[in-house]
Structure 1
């Protein structure tokens, strides 16, 4: 398999948007671990530009990358072993060290918890039970890593059971047509309107049917897309149409949100909102993959480092956001100043976490990097680097 640089850029861009999205969660009137003193209703409008597709896109790209990783592995067992190291180790490290400040801030700001962070971490965090409505310890935003690992293990099990047989031909025949737009949209509409109407993601692995119904098919779609020239050709034919439909669907989502902020939408606008959101989500993904295939499928001197950096960025970014907002709360800053400080502090914190962590051999696997670290004099110039890192 040739590397698809366009999907690398999509992955980098999606994780970059995630920083702005989670900073936005501080201001939007939706539930989050810490909130500004003055939430702003209209912030939901720009949040909805990515809300319906950002995570699905990451699972699709992860499925695509998993196909390449499986092809490089000696078999399903070896593939799972490598994924255990790259996903489970950072997940456990993150849950033990990176994440705990988030529930502590939530408990102190929302539930009146008066213990210091050290006391909380030593006495309350590792209780393996419910504490003030929070299940501790927790994976918080690292649920994505857990779900990706579970889907990876399920995929490897399926590959082992198939014993060399393949469904790739069936996928090619179906998704090499306009069905690449219509079938996923039909599935998402069926899930959101009929199978699980009104369901919300819980990020609890065993009671999160709506998330699994969205993300597992997306992951498997990406896996099959990695070896499907007919499907990629179909995306090439339909991505412009998909982009137009995504924009129109977002306009409907924004109009309904603006008229009825929150979830109190009268019939039939709640159904229209859910429908438009599902259509927007999948059409945006097809449009973005089409753009990546057409315009972004080329290498750049910065791509290798950014591709490596996104996983450490993901691990640390939400903890930085929550901690910095907790520090800012007593000052009652204007929203624009508060937003600017959060963005700059989060970007700086993410870069510091990655740049320092990559230089420490024992820390690298804990933050999602390969364990080997070359001596500085032996490292290739970024402009000449060709070695690849897939997370």
Structure 2
């Protein structure tokens, strides 16, 4: 089985987290922002949420799929003890540190903005994603290592065969439908700290691993049929966008979500699987940026919303502020302070040249 660097998967991770930042900034301009603990602009941009409703059914599931794929590649050069130690350093340590030192920051900014008494409140916040990944790695590793040591068995051959058909990869939507039926979430896109988010992520992580495990058949199929998947997703989004509740439901949304993801995986494999200096930089930066982006965007809202600009200009300025400040913090603090690097998922690899390279989650 191949273990070469998959640049398309790196690109999809970078793009998904970039969209996550924009998505969270857009929440500031929704009337219901305060109900989920976000600073709220007095000038709503309800229309801004329309494109977000397309993103919110696949952006988080895509990250879980990609994380499962990443675990497959990590296992090729590590036994289970090495994998647990490496994932503990790279995920569990930043998660615990984030709960204690990072997520309380945006809560303090929220309190200050609304003239509330300031209080220190450790909580998971947006880092719930990391907790889920840790649990998935622990629970699924025995299964994954069994599959790894039986790569020539009947199961892999059967999976590879299924993946040769256009609807083979999309057939996994049946498992996500089952999850909807059992968990019965209030909203499909309500992932954070919910059982729906946990089990949906579990399935996405598991099938992300299986997709790579199945071999080249999967990648050839999604590359060949990528526009079919995008077309199916677009049609189902159109139905959901109209609001016809008698037609649109969460069972159909599972198909839409998986179709978007398969289409994006196919597009990535077709066009993005090549190295670049930009990707090397972004791949290293994206994990620390994900960890700190919430308190940075809250700080942006604190500084920019009182200026009483046009709401679209406020949205644009907060977006630019968030991206620039996050990358400045990464570039001039996290990269250069050795003591902070492991706390934000960065790892030193010393080469003979004496230079250090970064390996990210």
Q: TM-score range by the shorter chain?
A: 0.7 to 0.9
Residue number in structure 2 paired with 1:187: 175
CA distance in 2, matches of 1:242, 1:325: 37
1:247 deviates by 1.5
**Does the Cα contact within 8 Å between 1:312 and 1:367 map onto a contact in 2?**
yes
Q: Quick one: structure 1 residues 176 and 168, their matched pair in 2 at CA, closer, same or farther if it must change by over 3 Å?
A: same
Q: Quick one: structure 1 residues 388 and 178, their matched pair in 2 at CA, closer, same or farther if it must change by over 3 Å?
A: farther
- Is 1:224 the counterpart of 2:233? The answer is no
Specify the SS of the correspondent of 1:291: helix
1:34 deviates by 1.6
**Aligned with 1:352 (options 291, 311, 328):** 328
Residue number in structure 1 paired with 2:292: 316
Q: Quick one: structure 1 residues 270 and 213, their matched pair in 2 at CA, closer, same or farther if it must change by over 3 Å?
A: farther
**Aligned with 1:3 (options 5, 8, 12):** 5
Q: Quick one: structure 1 residues 223 and 388, their matched pair in 2 at CA, closer, same or farther if it must change by over 3 Å?
A: farther
Residue number in structure 2 paired with 1:214: 200
CA offsets 1:9-42 (integer angstroms, 9 cap, x no match)? 1111111111111111111344442211122322
**Aligned with 1:149 (options 108, 129, 134):** 134
CA distance in 1, matches of 2:184, 2:92: 32
Residue number in structure 1 paired with 2:49: 44
Q: Structure 2 matches for 1:77-92, cutoff 5 A? A: 77-92=81-96
Q: Structure 2 length normalisation: TM-score?
A: 0.88
1:243 deviates by 0.9
Question: Cα RMSD between the aligned structures?
Answer: 2.5
1:230 deviates by 2.0
CA distance in 2, matches of 1:235, 1:310: 26
1:174 deviates by 2.9
Q: Quick one: structure 1 residues 67 and 46, their matched pair in 2 at CA, closer, same or farther if it must change by over 3 Å?
A: same
Q: Quick one: structure 1 residues 162 and 343, their matched pair in 2 at CA, closer, same or farther if it must change by over 3 Å?
A: closer
Specify the SS of the correspondent of 2:277: coil
- Is 1:296 the counterpart of 2:272? The answer is yes
1:273 deviates by 4.5
Residue number in structure 2 paired with 1:70: 75
**Does the Cα contact within 8 Å between 1:245 and 1:280 map onto a contact in 2?**
yes
Specify the SS of the correspondent of 1:269: coil
Specify the SS of the correspondent of 1:353: helix
CA distance in 1, matches of 2:350, 2:42: 44
Residue number in structure 2 paired with 1:58: 63
- Is 1:139 the counterpart of 2:124? The answer is yes
CA distance in 1, matches of 2:325, 2:72: 32
